């Protein structure tokens, strides 16, 4: 039912003329101006509001349908969301893209200029944050009642600039101009405690007397589904000082800075996103952020539960809380605290409820990414939670001792508390113990989790362990990012149903053998290269876009580039396949090794650029500040996708899926989801190289010596020597030395296999028709990597939730 009927509200029109009227009205009443005097910012805000209004009605109906159904909900807890720009998506989902542009032109506005002011909220680092956004998109599209919870960081992921080729970070004040997509909900604010101590009353009931009180103020953004009326929300918390945090007496005494000290301190909690990806940063403020997210979100979840339910035993039937890695794992002891201390439930009942409610997704195998917190710091910040964790641990270790009598080493390994060399809380162990399901994010990753990192737990509870291979939003990463290819596909398939049913892309297989379809496919790729505007659109566009990390091995790609450079220098007369190699990605500001690689890439790019014998064949480009927006421009233009991590290190990868879906061929190792991509697209349409996980593990265990490869392979030696000799503006000796003397990620061991595979790429590229065929087959066979499939897997295997259709 359209709620507006009962309210006597006029439904918003679907014509360009009506949209134009609404633009004028919003410009006047919301921005207080007219077309004649409006700034571009006024025009942008007005457009955003006018589009938003058209989703608001669906949001109201969704909320009504969900309330009536009292369904089982999915609550997705994540410290990061990389939502990407909202305007284009919301125009598509509300069906207003065409009329909005007509209306703007009618008003004399330049749609591209206006839309250009839309800002990407960079509230995440990389794959983990973007996955969260893709899953929300798919949940809404599949009509699953869901809320995403996160933190509204004032400053998102830093802006990357280069100075003399080195990364320099600038703050990202993404909402400086406001954010028209956001609905503040101060009425739903929550109170969060920190520090202090615990006390027990006469009945043995525990009470936490806090040392600091902070407010969490929520606002939400809309998460519309595609091709459905469902509009879910993502609710983001911002920290505020409580009323008492402003010290009026100090202010009156002229101590202006001291007067706001406490409030500033409180608000620092949501000030800035930690810019680490796949590395742990054990800082107190980060633990505060995590608890802030968890405490606000759980109270909100309980508030929502109580709207329709009274009985705590119903809670796990109505609620599943998915933990996006260990960052929100404090939700487990926090829910115990709420149930036992505040609601008065007995421990066993509370523990049963908690365990049934939570599920945990692990996104890594890197030991340095497994979060642990020092016990003294934890105890100071969250004294009651430490007690609760100790009690959980007692019960849990008793269970382990019963299952494995006499196995003291196992008990030590599985304990929630590490004892040596220092006492630390192990968040991954807590996440496994406190949940009903644990999943990895690709087949290989889930197998390795159960056989290595979490092996003891998988032996105790084999049925708890699942795989849910990651996926990507086809709306964001092909329909919106690659409109020309999407049109061609829709034409080829005779409709656009494939966007919500990505397996239908299989229908393109037949067209791979159609000469005219192939030439149109090529033309689209070309046009996307022109749109990107980097490098010769005729050249092979070879892209490596991802965070900089040694395990991802940008340095291996660099060794290949230097080898190509040397080959061309040695034989300038020959014909080479022209390549544009494109890097994009950020390094964590404190990750010096990764920053050295960035600097070296820029130096190599400059040297090649300045060499007229080489530059016709080889160009290295490195646009700064990789984000969802830049990725959406690069991915459609790519011919070759570099997925070259050391086997066993990349949990899944999702850029690999986006590139394959857009018709890039992958050169990759047997790592993460690469394995599944190769299985789906076919070994003939994938360039495989390198050691697999067992071989890499064996090599490391048997005493790997990088220098042996250097000694044996003249091309490799030449490449490394040129770095060590300072041939690239004197930059990169640290990179060269680390590879030669240590090479933690087996770069040199995989070098020869990689360079040979790249030679096969060159050979394949020269057969244009065959390459295009392979490109079409990559797209045709990528349907599996839709986030819709991922969400269906979660829904069936872990969440046990059903869709709720939103009525008209
Ligand atoms: F270390 N990932 C990420 F597991 O982007 F927590 N940030 C992170 O902090 C972690 C993982 C963490 C990535 C994985 O590296 C990537 O392989 C995976 O595809 C992605 O998460 C989504 O699952």
- ipTM of this complex prediction, to 2 decimal places: 0.99
Q: Is 455 a catalytic residue?
A: no
Q: Is 666 a catalytic residue?
A: no
Q: Average pLDDT for residues 774-784, to the nearest whole number?
A: 99
Closest atom of ligand 1 to CA, residue 654? 19
Same domain, 458 and 485: no
Same domain, 407 and 501: no
Crossing angle of the two packed helices 733-741 and 592-609, in degrees rounded to 10:
120
Q: Is the CB of 444 under 6 A from ligand 1?
A: no
User: Best substitution site from 651, 657, 794 to test ligand 1's pocket, by max atoms within 8 Å of Cβ?
Assistant: 651
Among 468, 492, 526, the domain boundary falls at 468
pLDDT over 60 at 187, yes or no: yes
Residue 257 CA to its chain's centroid (Å): 38
Q: Average pLDDT for residues 396-409, to the nearest whole number?
A: 98
Q: Average pLDDT for residues 88-110, to the nearest whole number?
A: 97
pLDDT for the residue 245: 87
Among 447, 468, 489, the domain boundary falls at 468
Same domain, 493 and 450: no
Q: What is the pLDDT of residues 409-442, one digit of tens each?
A: 999 999 999 999 999 999 999 999 999 999 999 9
Report if pTM > 0.90.
Answer: yes
Confidence of residue 10 (pLDDT cuts 50, 70, 90): confident
Same domain, 595 and 644: yes
CA of 618 to the centre of ligand 1 (A): 32
Q: Average pLDDT for residues 260-278, to the nearest whole number?
A: 93
Q: Is the CB of 329 under 6 A from ligand 1?
A: no
Residue 641 within any structural domain of the chain: yes
Same domain, 458 and 518: no
Same domain, 485 and 555: yes
pLDDT over 60 at 18, yes or no: yes
Catalytic residue among 529, 546, 678, 781: 546
CA of 363 to the centre of ligand 1 (A): 5
Same domain, 772 and 659: yes
pLDDT for the residue 6: 67
Gyration radius (Cα) of the chain, Å: 27
Share of the chain above pLDDT 90, in %: 96
Same domain, 244 and 286: yes
CA–CA separation, 275 and 273 (whole Å): 6
Same domain, 266 and 163: yes
Residue 31 within any structural domain of the chain: no
Catalytic residue among 552, 553, 579, 680: 552
Mean pLDDT of the residues in the chain: 97
Same domain, 461 and 515: no
User: Best substitution site from 273, 279, 364 to test ligand 1's pocket, by max atoms within 8 Å of Cβ?
Assistant: 364
The residue nearest atom 16 of ligand 1, judged by CA position, is 653
Q: Give the total number of structural domains in the chain.
A: 2
Confidence of residue 282 (pLDDT cuts 50, 70, 90): confident
Closest atom of ligand 1 to CA, residue 362? 4
**Cβ density class 463-502: b for 16+ within 10 Å, e for less:** ebbbbbbbbbbbbbbbbbbbbebbebbeebbeebebbbeb
CA–CA separation, 767 and 758 (whole Å): 15
Same domain, 226 and 335: yes
CA–CA separation, 318 and 51 (whole Å): 33
Among 427, 443, 468, the domain boundary falls at 468
What is the CATH classification number for the domain harbouring 520? 3.40.50.2000
Q: What is the domain extent for residue 320? A: 70-85+120-468
Task: Decide if 306 contacts 60 (C-beta within 8 A).
Answer: no
pLDDT over 70 at 2, yes or no: no
């Amino acid at each position: 039912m359209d709620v507006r009927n009962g309210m006597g509200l006029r439904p918003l029109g679907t014509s360009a003329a009506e949209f134009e009227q609404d633009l004028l009205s919003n410009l006047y009443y919301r921005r207080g101006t007219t077309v004649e005097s409006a700034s571009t910012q006024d025009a942008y805000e007005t457009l955003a509001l006018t589009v938003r209004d058209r989703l608001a009605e669906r949001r109201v109906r969704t909320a009504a349908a969900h309330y009536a159904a009292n369904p089982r909900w999915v609550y997705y807890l994540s410290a990061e969301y990389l939502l990407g720009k909202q305007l284009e998506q919301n125009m598509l989902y509300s069906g207003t893209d065409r009329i909005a542009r007509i209306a703007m032109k009618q008003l004399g506005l330049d749609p591209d200029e206006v839309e250009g002011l839309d800002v990407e909220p960079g509230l995440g680092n990389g794959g983990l944050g973007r996955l969260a956004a893709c899953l929300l998109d798919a949940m809404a599209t599949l009509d699953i009642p869901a809320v995403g919870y996160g933190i509204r960081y004032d400053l998102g992921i830093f802006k990357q600039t280069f100075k003399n080729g080195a990364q320099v970070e600038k703050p990202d004040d993404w909402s400086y101009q406001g954010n028209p997509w956001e609905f503040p909900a101060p009425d739903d604010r929550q109170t969060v405690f920190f520090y202090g101590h615990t006390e027990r009353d006469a009945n043995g009931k525990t009470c936490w007397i806090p040392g600091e009180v902070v407010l969490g103020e929520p606002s939400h953004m809309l998460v519309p589904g595609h091709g459905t009326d469902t509009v879910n929300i993502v609710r983001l918390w911002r920290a505020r000082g409580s009323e008492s945090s402003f010290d009026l007496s100090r202010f009156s005494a002229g101590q202006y800075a001291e007067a706001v000290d406490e409030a500033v301190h409180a608000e620092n909690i949501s000030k800035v996103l930690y810019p680490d990806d796949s590395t742990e940063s054990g800082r107190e403020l980060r633990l505060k952020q995590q608890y802030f997210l968890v405490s606000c979100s759980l109270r909100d979840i309980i508030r929502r539960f109580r709207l329709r339910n009274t009985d705590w035993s119903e809670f796990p039937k109505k609620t599943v809380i998915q933990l996006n890695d260990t960052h929100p794992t404090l939700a487990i002891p926090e829910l115990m605290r709420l149930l036992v201390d505040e609601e008065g439930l007995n421990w066993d009942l509370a523990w049963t409820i908690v365990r049934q409610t939570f599920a945990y997704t692990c996104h890594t195998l890197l030991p340095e990414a497994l979060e642990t917190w020092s016990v003294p710091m934890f105890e100071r910040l969250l004294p009651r939670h430490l007690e609760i964790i100790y009690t959980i641990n007692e019960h849990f270790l008793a269970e382990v001792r019963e299952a494995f009598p006499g196995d003291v080493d196992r008990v030590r390994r599985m304990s929630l508390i590490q004892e040596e060399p220092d006492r630390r809380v192990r968040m991954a162990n807590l996440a496994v113990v406190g949940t009903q399901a644990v999943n990895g994010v690709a087949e290989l990753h889930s197998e390795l989790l159960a056989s290595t990192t979490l092996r003891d737990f998988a032996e105790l509870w084999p049925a708890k362990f699942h795989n849910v291979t990651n996926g990507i939003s086809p709306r964001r990463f092909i329909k919106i990012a690659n409109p020309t290819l999407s049109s061609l596909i829709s034409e080829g398939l005779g409709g656009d149903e494939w966007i919500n049913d990505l397996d239908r892309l299989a229908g393109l297989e037949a067209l791979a053998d159609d000469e005219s379809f192939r030439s149109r496919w090529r033309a689209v790729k070309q046009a996307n290269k022109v749109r990107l505007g980097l490098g010769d659109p005729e050249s092979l566009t070879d892209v490596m876009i991802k965070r900089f990390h040694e395990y991802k091995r940008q340095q291996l790609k660099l060794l290949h580039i230097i080898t190509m450079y040397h080959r061309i220098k040695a034989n300038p007369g020959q014909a080479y396949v022209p390549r544009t190699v494109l890097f994009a990605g950020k390094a964590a500001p404190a990750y010096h090794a990764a920053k050295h690689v960035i600097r070296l890439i820029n130096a190599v790019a400059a040297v090649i650029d300045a060499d007229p014998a080489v530059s016709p064949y080889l160009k290295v480009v490195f646009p700064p500040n990789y984000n969802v927006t830049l990725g959406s421009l690069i991915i459609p233009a790519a011919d070759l996708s570099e997925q070259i991590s050391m086997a066993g290190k990349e949990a899944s990868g999702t850029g690999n899926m986006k590139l394959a879906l857009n018709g890039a061929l992958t050169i990759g190792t047997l790592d993460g989801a690469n394995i599944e991509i190769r299985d789906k697209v076919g070994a003939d349409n994938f360039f495989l190289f390198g050691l697999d996980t067992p071989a890499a593990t064996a090599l490391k265990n048997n005493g790997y010596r990088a220098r042996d490869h250097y000694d044996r392979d003249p091309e490799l030696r030449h490449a490394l020597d040129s770095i060590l000799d300072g041939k690239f503006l004197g930059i990169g000796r640290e990179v060269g030395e680390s590879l030669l003397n240590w090479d933690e990620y087996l770069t040199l061991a995989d070098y020869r296999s990689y360079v040979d595979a790249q030679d096969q790429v060159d050979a394949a590229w020269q057969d244009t028709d065959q390459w295009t065929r392979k490109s079409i087959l990559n797209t045709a066979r990528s349907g599996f990597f839709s986030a819709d499939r991922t969400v269906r897997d979660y829904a069936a295997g872990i969440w046990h939730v059903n869709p709720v259709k939103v009525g008209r």
